[in-house]
Structure 1
Amino acid sequence: MKKIFTGLALMALSVGVFGQSSADAVFRKKFIKKVMEDASAWQLQHPKHDAKDWTNGAFYAGLVAAWKTTKSKSIFNALMTMGDTGSWRPYKRWYHADDITVCQTYIDLYERKKDKAMIQPTIDTINKLLANPFPTKGRLEVIKWWWCDALFMAPPVLVKLAQVTGNKAYLDSNDVYFKQAYDLLYNNEEHLFARDLNYVIKPDGSGRKEANGQKVFWSRGNGWVMGGIVRILNALPKDHATRSFYENLLKEIAARVSSLQQTDGLWRASLLDPASYPGGEVSGSGFFCYAITWGINNNLLDKKQYQPVVEKAWRALANCVNQEGRVGWVQPIGASPGKNFSADSWEVYGTGAFLLAASEIYKLKR
């Protein structure tokens, strides 16, 4: 895989400016802050999609992490401007997980500003979601969160909202909706999530499979799930009755995902058929790095076992950012593994995943 370095990384790796070996330079806090600032700035200068779209919701999650890590006023101001410009409202569909993703950021900013107007539209929308059934068409949409990506988009909103409002109904509803998706899409043998019912193998063995005969498990889809679980656990009360379910699920997926990491440190778009998908994919890999590193930092995952995984992943991720701060090697929007990306392929959620990973690597004690 072609490697593209940030200016700071190139300097660090070539002349050892931080006084570390080249392999360790990307773990210095100075480097991590700089690459987060560069990636944030580049992405903010290259907007894409509606500001409230799920793609940007994932980017803003990373941007919040970058703000909290770097203490950058410019990043914070960009987030506040986004919220003010959009009147702190979700996107178009009250019932769709994608359209409330941006509300995670509204709640994060509310915790700093304590202005109820920043979360009232979110409260109104979530109350409507809880009071009404999903308007299914009777095909895939058999439950509210019928695709695995939704487990990053919506659950953190409900759990964060419970945290700031004290309304436990949001926690109870999240448990119900999440477990429905788990029962529908989680493969208990592979410890991975199918993207949706199109990728669940039928009892007679029929269904979509990869060229090597393996089941189709999308890297980014499972990255969405792991990232969502982490964001749930960050806000979920320590004594919540179902906390152990989320913790054990993260442990199961982390063990399986770690076994599928490729020699270059990244994961392929299709987890069980890497040979058919040459080239590491950064959005899925970024979410994996984020979630597993969080598990180490929070004493949920064994450091001795998992630190080599995340260190290898971070070295690779850092090498996928160019001198301008653009995060490359990101699969375009889709619902399944793809091969249509390269060093020049970028998307806002790829930057978000990278920033989330960086924020946890920054905290990692080596």
Structure 2
Amino acid sequence: MSRLETNLHQLVTGMTALRHEGQFDEPNLDGTKGDYISFDSWEWPQGVGLYALASLWRAGHLPRLKNELEGWYQRRIEAGLPAQNVNTTAPMLALSLLWRESGDPAHGALLAKWAEDVLEHAPRTEEGGIQHDVSDKKNRGELWDDTLFMVALFLASYGEGAGRRDLVDEAERQFLVHTRYLADPATGLWFHGWTFDGRHNFARARWARGNAWISAGVLDLLDLATIAPSVAAFLTGVLKAQVDALLPLQCQSGAWRTLLDDPSSYEELSATAGFGYALLKGARLGLGTPAWKAAGIKAVHAVMASIDDTGTLQNVSYGTRMGHDLDFYRTIPIQPTAYGQAMALLCLGEAMNHDDLR
């Protein structure tokens, strides 16, 4: 077994072994305890983790993961699902991929109702953007990078599988609206968020993980559904502009900093893994130059160097709210999380698709 394959197995074990242990207690609006670390919780970090597992299974790298996914969903659905918001929608993406193969009617009914509720009841900003409401806070009038990965990819995937063009259209619309307000035309990078209350981009933070949601999300949108050619061409151009800005900002280690253009901020590995995944995938699909693959390879090495003996990716910043100044981002604590494991799994899983990296 190659080092790459060994690291993939270790990362899966490390993710499923994560436990909350009382860190970062963040009560939800309904009074329940928020758990954004352990794998046995229906939230966004776990949703991204499930998507990584589903992606590995679908690619044929770890076929056994299908049974683990089915078991996870059975346990969590039987325990009862939380109220719908942006972040609790994230686990629906991997479930849609399972359902697209199995056709399980119970899963199909759950997915259909959840998608319909997003269309009919998700709070909206001006111009129809999905407001970034989460389990512990309503963010009135705000658009965040994260929403595209947590909600729009689910709508696209389930819409494609169900023959619901209206859902795919809504996913496209969300990418277009968010691009309008979050992509920085001066640099090609993305700001973390936008508020219609005062109409500004908060700290104008070019935050690494938010940018990674976009790099990975654009490519995965094009994979998960049939996207209108004009929208696909537009988003591909947005991605290329972003990568043009990213490549000169890669550190010597192969990583990127948590504030991409701030040399005083720390190197952050969940974003690095997301960028590595996107760069290698984009190169494989013929979208980028050889420089994309070269940078992606450096990112893979940075990720592998940051996996400890327990299979845990280190140097991952904890869940990051909207910052009103740049110091906020510089001081986010380091904490292993399911999304850190997931981004590393996506990155190394994509590396397995390149014969020269296996």
Q: TM-score range by the shorter chain?
A: 0.7 to 0.9
> CA 1:340 to 1:184, structure 2 compared with 1: closer, same or farther past 3 Å?
closer
CA contact (8 A) 2:172 2:227 kept: no
Counterpart of 1:154, as a letter, is V
Number of the residue aligned with 1:92? 82
> What is the TM-score with the length of structure 1 in the denominator?
0.80
Number of the residue aligned with 1:257? 246
CA contact (8 A) 2:320 2:332 kept: no
Number of the residue aligned with 1:305? 291
Number of the residue aligned with 1:159? 156
Q: What's the offset of the Cα at 1:116?
A: 2.5
Number of the residue aligned with 2:189? 192
How far apart in 2 are the matches of 1:51 and 1:126?
A: 20
The gaps in structure 1 that reach 5 residues or longer are 1-28, 209-214
How far apart in 1 are the matches of 2:202 and 2:310?
A: 43
Deviation sequence 1:247-266 (CA, Å, 0-9, x none): 22221112211121111100
Q: What's the offset of the Cα at 1:112?
A: 2.9
Deviation sequence 1:152-182 (CA, Å, 0-9, x none): 1111111111211111001111122222211
Number of the residue aligned with 1:225? 214
How far apart in 1 are the matches of 2:81 and 2:87?
A: 8
Counterpart of 1:354, as a letter, is A
State yes or no: 1:175 paired with 2:172.
yes
Secondary structure of 2:2's partner? Answer: helix
> What is the TM-score with the length of structure 2 in the denominator?
0.81
CA contact (8 A) 1:90 1:102 kept: no
Q: Which moved more, 1:180-189 or 1:331-340?
A: 331-340
How do 1:65-214 residues align onto structure 2 when only pairs under 5 Å count? 65-69=55-59, 71-72=61-62, 74-87=64-77, 92-94=82-84, 96-132=85-121, 134=123, 141-142=140-141, 146-197=143-194, 208=203
| Two-structure CA RMSD over aligned residues (Å) | 2.8
How far apart in 1 are the matches of 2:333 and 2:60?
A: 30
How far apart in 1 are the matches of 2:332 and 2:163?
A: 45
State yes or no: 1:325 paired with 2:311.
yes
Counterpart of 2:66, as a letter, is F
> CA 1:196 to 1:319, structure 2 compared with 1: closer, same or farther past 3 Å?
same
Deviation sequence 1:190-214 (CA, Å, 0-9, x none): 11221112699978xx963xxxxxx
How far apart in 1 are the matches of 2:223 and 2:124?
A: 30
Number of the residue aligned with 1:292? 279
CA contact (8 A) 1:269 1:339 kept: no
- Structure with bigger gyration radius: 1
Number of the residue aligned with 2:41? 51
Indicate the percent of aligned positions where both proteins have the same amino acid. 18
How far apart in 2 are the matches of 1:199 and 1:330?
A: 30
Number of the residue aligned with 1:281? 268
